[in-house]
């Protein structure tokens, strides 16, 4: 289990992406997706998180269960 302490969740995201079906909360494209932002204070934690996501995707039941994840390094990070 990873020690992720800093994160934000955006619950209702309307999205079109390469992963899964479109979700625009309409009759044509029902439902919506969600976004989670995680701030990792170490590169090791970020790498562990990405590895866990990749493992999850490998075992996903279908393309709608896949997680799209992106990492980037911040030039400045201020959090205690």
* pLDDT tens, the chain, 80 aa long: 888 988 999 999 998 888 888 999 999 989 999 999 999 888 999 999 999 999 999 999 999 999 999 999 888 877 66
Q: Decide if 55 is inside a domain.
A: yes
In a domain, 74, yes or no: no
Q: Give the count of domains, the chain.
A: 1
Residue 32 domain-assigned (yes or no): yes
Residue 2 lies in a domain: no
Q: What is the pLDDT of residue 47?
A: 95
What pLDDT was estimated at residue 1? 81
Name the DSSP letter for residue 59. Answer: T
pTM of the model: 0.81
Per the domain annotation, does 13 fall within a domain?
Answer: yes
Residue 22 contacts residue 15 (beta carbons within 8 Å) = yes
pLDDT at position 17, please? 83
Is residue 77 one of the residues assigned to a domain?
no
Give the separation between CA 71 and CA 40, rounded to whole angstroms. 10
């Amino acid at each position: 289990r990873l020690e992720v302490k800093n994160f934000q969740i955006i619950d209702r995201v309307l999205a079109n992406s390469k992963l899964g079906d479109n979700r625009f909360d309409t009759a044509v494209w029902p439902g919506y997706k969600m976004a989670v932002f995680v701030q990792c204070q170490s590169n090791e934690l970020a790498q562990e998180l990405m590895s866990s996501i990749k493992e999850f995707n490998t075992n996903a039941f279908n393309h709608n269960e896949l997680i799209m994840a992106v990492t980037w390094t911040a030039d400045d990070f201020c959090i205690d």
